[in-house]
């Protein structure tokens, strides 16, 4: 069954309301406008946070995601023509990932990968000394007796517990720092991947829940407005939305 799309007029009206709130907030620093923006997009922040939650971390991670949302609202420039959600998602995820990075191995890296990281690093150092150059992933894999995929995963996971300063020089006597070599991240890449995942996951929801989720995040409608649109109570809409987002979070790629 095809997902129920938000009608054009509804999407335009919601987009105009959000644009008006951002205009008031940027021009006047209106705290009420900020509050309304947070209310509209807080479910998105919580949904993103749940992809990284385990055990008793929920409240802390959701607070970090909410902080990321506030930063996104403060930094967003409507004049650039970018949808706010496209700007907010990488900002919120960046805050959440930074939170886990600062806590060390709190990010859920499998123990087998944690144990492999020092082996790969040691094997790389030994091969570098022996070969006089940086070894390839294949050479490190052979040295450690693991697959190339394991080596690449270990290298990627190593940054989960050891942050490197962007101010550190690239060369011992050079003036350029690592931060100078970093380009801006195009939020469009993450947005495309997320759109594909969301479209697939939405198809698993009942038609009514699909419509409610789309009205909330594509139409930017409040729960009260959604309730009026679908003919349900706001409490009922809140429960359906919460259940739908929980299901989507369980299906989301890790």
- Ranges 29-38, 55-64, 156-165, most confident: 29-38
> What is the arithmetic mean of pLDDT over 76-97?
82
Condensed to tens digits (0 to 9), the pLDDT of residues 203-222 reads 888 888 888 888 887 788 88
Condensed to tens digits (0 to 9), the pLDDT of residues 39-71 reads 989 998 988 888 776 555 677 888 889 999 999
Condensed to tens digits (0 to 9), the pLDDT of residues 169-198 reads 655 555 566 556 555 555 555 565 666 666
Give domain limits for the chain: 8-106+207-243, 111-159
Helices (H), the chain: 8-28, 31-49, 58-75, 84-102, 111-131, 137-144, 148-158, 187-202, 207-217, 223-230, 234-251
Distance CA 253, CA 67 (A): 23
pLDDT at 97: 76
Query: In this structure, are residues 76 and 87 in contact, taking their beta carbons and an 8 Å threshold?
Result: yes
Q: Which residue has the higher pLDDT, 21 or 190?
A: 21
The fold of 111-159 is Arc Repressor Mutant, subunit A (1.10.10)
Distance CA 71, CA 222 (A): 21
Q: What is the overall mean pLDDT for the chain? A: 77
Distance CA 65, CA 56 (A): 16
Say whether pLDDT at 4 is over 80: no
Structure tokens given for 67: 């902080």
Query: In this structure, are residues 139 and 114 in contact, taking their beta carbons and an 8 Å threshold?
Result: no
Say whether pLDDT at 163 is over 50: no
Say whether pLDDT at 38 is over 60: yes
């Amino acid at each position: 069954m095809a997902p129920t799309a938000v009608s054009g007029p509804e999407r335009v009206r919601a987009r105009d309301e959000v644009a008006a709130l951002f205009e008031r907030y940027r021009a006047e620093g209106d705290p009420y406008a900020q509050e309304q923006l947070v209310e509209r997009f807080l479910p998105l922040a919580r949904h993103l946070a749940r992809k990284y939650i385990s055990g008793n971390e929920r409240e802390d991670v959701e607070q970090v995601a909410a902080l990321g949302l506030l930063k996104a609202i403060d930094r967003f420039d409507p004049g650039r023509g970018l949808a706010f959600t496209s700007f907010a998602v990488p900002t919120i995820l960046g805050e959440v990932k930074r939170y886990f990075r600062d806590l060390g191995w709190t990010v859920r890296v499998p123990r087998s990968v944690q144990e492999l990281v020092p082996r790969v690093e040691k094997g790389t150092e030994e091969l570098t000394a022996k070969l006089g150059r940086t070894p390839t992933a294949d050479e490190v894999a052979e040295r450690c007796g693991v697959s190339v995929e394991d080596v690449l995963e270990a290298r990627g996971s190593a940054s989960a517990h050891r942050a490197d300063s962007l101010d550190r020089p690239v060369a011992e006597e050079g003036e350029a720092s690592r931060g100078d070599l970093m380009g801006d991240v195009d939020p469009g890449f993450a947005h495309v991947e997320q759109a594909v995942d969301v479209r697939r996951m939405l198809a698993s929801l009942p038609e009514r829940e699909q419509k409610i989720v789309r009205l909330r995040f594509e139409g930017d409608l409040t729960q009260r407005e959604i309730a009026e649109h679908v003919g349900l109570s706001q409490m009922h809409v809140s429960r359906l939305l919460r259940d739908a987002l929980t299901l989507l979070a369980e299906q989301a790629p890790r």
